[in-house]
Structure 1
Amino acid sequence: MTNTTGAAGGATRWLRGAIAAICAVLLLAMMALTVADVLGRYLMNAPVPGATELTELMLAAVIFVGLPAASLDGDHVHVDVLTIRLRRLARRVLAGVVGLVSAGILGLVALRLWKIGDQIAGYNGITPTLKLPVAPVAYGVAVLAAVAAAITVLRVFERADAHV
């Protein structure tokens, strides 16, 4: 969705901005928590209780909140050492196939994360120190992976329409 004109382009820009803001807030919170934990640990011999588990949860959130943004922008890592030697049509077909396979893998990741969330919810999994429930995080990252899969599929068809 690099061409951001019209209503869809405005929605895409808004979504990117929202994702960037959420990630920025999460990263800032992680940084502040880490600084407070380190200062508390070494200056006052009193680390922040649960700092490690909060950092882990926020890190998962940053990664999976950013995943739909990477899918929107097509910013996933790719190596084109061999594909640059292919003809234009072959590159487009291969890009479509790779996009669909990537979307399928993201969909499988989403399904697996949802199952893991079900398992965690089944035994009421909580974090050790703060006793925060973990299942909602698993469900949240599953939904975000599914959103990234849907965006990836849409981008495949968008590129196909652009070349017709």
Structure 2
Amino acid sequence: MRAILTAADAAIRWLCIAALAVAAVFIAFMAVIGTADVIGTSAFSTPVPSALELSEVALVIVVFTGLAAAQMKGSHITVDILSNRFTGWVKRLSDAAARLAAMAFFGTIAWFGAQEALHSWSINEMATGATPIPIYPGKTLLALGCAVATLEALRQLLHILTGTRP
């Protein structure tokens, strides 16, 4: 049983890092598109076609694929005025409740995001602009990013419940 949990732990950590890598690629993509659009508009009076739509889809991907890594590192904003004073089982209970809430939050977004992504794929949804830009990859990565964040919150919850270090 411990071997299965260790393997799952490593796999979920790998998924978080892979999702973060996707976010990094799309941050770079947004920087290139933005730079090209500014230079094209300023120097040549020709903006990048559909730069806004490309950036909108990329921003969704960056935000939602970065959630799992933020969860893994404990980088989400927390209000810990009271919980910093907790010790022992009360601290563990508070931490477990926070992970359950994160699982519910991310899981709900993943579930409804997946439904939206499937619908978007089925109708070949596009953003209207100078050049049609597909929206379904962004919706798909939104759902996948939240699913990975849900798994990371579950991984952390299991560590809290078993008293092991993540």
CA RMSD of aligned residues (A): 2.6
Distance 1:106 1:13 in 2: 16
Which residue number corresponds to residue 160 of structure 1? 161
Change (3 A) 1:105 1:24: closer
C-alpha deviations, 1:52-100, integer Å up to 9, x for none?
A: 1111111111112211212222322211101122333212101101111
Which residue number corresponds to residue 46 of structure 2? 46
Matches within 5 A, 1:113-132: 113-129=113-129, 130-132=131-133
Distance 1:17 1:110 in 2: 18
Matches within 5 A, 1:23-62: 23-62=23-62
Q: Which runs of 5+ in 1 are unaligned?
A: 1-5
TM-score (norm 2): 0.81
TM-score (norm 1): 0.82
Which residue number corresponds to residue 3 of structure 1? none
Which residue number corresponds to residue 80 of structure 1? 80
More deviation, 81-90/118-127: 118-127
Q: Which runs of 5+ in 2 are unaligned?
A: 1-5
Q: Which amino acid aligns with 2:120?
A: I
Deviation at 1:8, TM superposition (A): 7.1
Give secondary structure in 1 for the equivalent of 2:84: helix
Distance 1:9 1:109 in 2: 22
Which residue number corresponds to residue 112 of structure 1? 112
Change (3 A) 1:99 1:66: same
Where relative contact order (Cα < 8 A, 6+ residues apart) is larger, the structure is 2
In the comparison of the two structures, how many residue pairs are matched?
159
Q: Which amino acid aligns with 2:139?
A: A
Matches within 5 A, 1:65-104: 65-104=65-104
Task: State whether structure 2 residue 144 is matched by structure 1 residue 140.
Answer: no
Deviation at 1:44, TM superposition (A): 1.4
Change (3 A) 1:143 1:22: closer
Distance 2:83 2:22 in 1: 35
Change (3 A) 1:118 1:61: same
* Percent identity of paired positions between Structure 1 and Structure 2: 29
Change (3 A) 1:124 1:14: closer
Q: Which amino acid aligns with 2:88?
A: R
